[in-house]
Structure formats: C-alpha cells, structure tokens
Chain A
Amino acid sequence: MPIVLHRVDDRLVHGQVVIGWGRPLDIGFIALVDDAVVASDWERELYRMGVPTEIELIFAGVADAARLAGQWRADPRNGIVLTADIPTMSAFCAAAAPVERVNLGGIHHKPGRTQRLPYIYLTDEEYHLLEELAGRGTAVTAQDLPTTTPVPLADLR
C-alpha cells in the first residue's frame, strides 16, 4: 500500500515528518489533510517552503481527501497522510476505510489535555475517539520517530 504512514501531528510538516520518517520510508508525496490550510493560499505556500522539491505536497480538505484516497493508494510513490488533529484523522479513516494503522506523532499541550507521553497530550474525548477508531479495526500507536518503540493506545489511557 503506497500510503505508508497515517500520522497525526499538530506541527504538520516539520523535520520529524520530512526527514525522520520521510527518508527511511522513501516518501514521494505528503497529503496534508486540513480544511483550514486548504482555505489559505498563504498557509499552503508556507508549507510548500518546508518540503524538498523531490517530495510532492498535496493539500486536501477532509471531504476531498476521502475522495482522493484511492488515487493516493494507487500512486506508485510512497506517501504520508498527515493531519493536525485526531478528529480530522478519524473522519478521514471513516470515509476512506480501511486504514490499517494510525501513528500519533505529536499532539501537544492545550487546556483540557493531560500528558500521556512527552509528545502526546490528550483530552478524554480525544482518547475515546481513538478507542472508537481502534474499534473499527485501525491499530493506533504513538511513535514520534521510526527509531523509537511504538506505544500502543492502551498505554495512553
């Protein structure tokens, strides 16, 4: 399957994604799924500046991403689907099922969230959303980099 990583990371495009995961996975494209980014020319141009020319950066809103998922999966290049938050990834997974695995890469502190790992903070609602996702057959793990050990969802409770 050419989508080799489905990642939730509130920093979206940054070094861990482009270099940390991108290089060992030999990424050819990143599909950034975010309605707010899609709506802003300025934000899209900004994120383009953060990606090397050999990686295509694709922007899609949640609704379009579900429609484009088949095309991404058929792409001969390896790709990453990237969202900034859990509701967006959950919506994508529901609309573009099946998604075998979701990676929690960076969800940082906000009011209402509690620390589960140094790089993962969740509200109870977000945790339950992940449980629902897991209940639909998607393996959910936290792992900031490919060189670290994945942490199963149950350990984030």
Chain B
Amino acid sequence: MNDVRGIVVAHGSLASALVQEAEQISGQAGVLTAVSNRGCGREEIEERIREAAGDGPAVIFVDMPCGSCFFAAMRVARDRDAQRVVTGVNLSMLLDFVNNRSLPPADAATRAAGKGTEAIRKS
C-alpha cells in the first residue's frame, strides 16, 4: 500500500503554519498538504480537500470537531474507506504521523489521534 498522505485543513493560515513547522522540525517535506477554508463556501472547501487528498489513502486532519472544515472533510471521506478524519490537529500528532505513514489509514488515524491527545497536558 502507498504511504498515507496527510491533509491538514484549518481556518485561515493555521494549516499552512502547522505544515510548515512540521516540515521544519521533521525534515520531511511534501508529506503534508495544507488546506485553508479562507474565502470558501461549502463546495469550494470540499473541492480543495478532494484535490489535495486525491483518491489514495489519506488522513485528513481538521482543527475543530465542528465547523466548515470539519463538515467538508467528513463529506470527502464519507465514501472512501482509505481516507479518515482526525479532529483537534496539533503539531505533536503531525510529527508522529509523518514517521508512521506506512500504517493502514485507519491505524494511522487512530495513532495520530492518540498521540495528539497525549500531547495535551496541564501543569
């Protein structure tokens, strides 16, 4: 199976900032693609995600578990078993994901969600 692609979908410039910093830290470029919802209606966000994800295996990372980015990602992944959605994207989950892209998409999504959750701590 091809390595899983990572698509980061978020409000404004958040996705591009996350992707840029994940690449900067991991040294792996071209693994993640940023999609912004800025200036988009429903159909245009979906189209941007479809274009970025293609037809292959992908995990679509979204900033919030609600809102236009989330709804669009869910519609794109709805009929594609090889594409999964993970909400609450953070840098820790992306850094783990880029090193574990050979997993099946469902496993990669589960792992990323776990790593992202583990990264949330309080003092």
- B41 lies within 8 A of A10 (CB): yes
Chain A residues contacting B64 (CB-CB under 8 Å) are 15
- A109 lies within 8 A of B71 (CB): no
CA distance A51 to B44 in the complex (A): 22
Complex interface residues of chain B between 71 and 99 (CB less than 8 A to chain A): 71, 74-75, 78
A102 at interface, CB cutoff 8 A: no
B56 at interface, CB cutoff 8 A: no
- A50 lies within 8 A of B67 (CB): yes
B68 at interface, CB cutoff 8 A: yes
Chain A residues contacting B66 (CB-CB under 8 Å) are 13-15, 18, 49-51
Given A15-B11, A46-B74, residue A108 in contact with residue B44 (CB < 8 A): yes
Among A50, A118, A119, find the residue whose CB has the most chain B CB atoms closer than 10 A.
A50
- Looking at the complex, which one of B68, B74, B75 makes contact with A11 (CB distance below 8 Å)? B68
> What residue of chain A has the Cβ atom nearest to residue B66's Cβ?
A50
B61 at interface, CB cutoff 8 A: no
- A106 lies within 8 A of B67 (CB): no
CA distance A84 to B71 in the complex (A): 14
Q: Mark A106-121, 1 if CB is under 8 A from B, else 0.
A: 1111100000001100
CA distance A47 to B75 in the complex (A): 11
Give chain B nearest CB distance to A61 CB in angstroms.
18
A12 at interface, CB cutoff 8 A: yes
Q: Mark A27-58, 1 if CB is under 8 A from B, else 0.
A: 00000000000000010001101110000000
Given A11-B41, A109-B44, residue A42 in contact with residue B67 (CB < 8 A): no
Give chain A nearest CB distance to B81 CB in angstroms.
16
B114 at interface, CB cutoff 8 A: no
Chain B residues contacting A18 (CB-CB under 8 Å) are 66-67
**Taking beta carbons and an 8 Å cutoff, which residues of B are in contact with A?**
11, 39-44, 64-68, 70-71, 74-75, 78
**Taking beta carbons and an 8 Å cutoff, which residues of A are in contact with B?**
10-15, 18, 42, 46-47, 49-51, 84, 106-110, 118-119
A-B contact pairs, 24 of them (CB 8 A): A10-B41, A11-B42, A11-B67, A13-B66, A13-B71, A14-B66, A14-B67, A14-B71, A15-B11, A15-B67, A15-B68, A46-B74, A49-B66, A50-B66, A50-B67, A50-B71, A106-B41, A107-B41, A108-B40, A108-B41, A108-B44, A109-B41, A118-B39, A119-B39
Complex A-B, nearest 9 residue pairs according to Cβ-Cβ distance, in ascending order: A108-B41, A50-B66, A10-B41, A11-B68, A14-B68, A14-B67, A15-B67, A10-B42, A11-B42
Known contacts A11-B41, A13-B67, A110-B41; 6 further A-B pairs (Cβ under 8 A): A11-B68, A15-B66, A18-B67, A46-B75, A47-B71, A49-B66
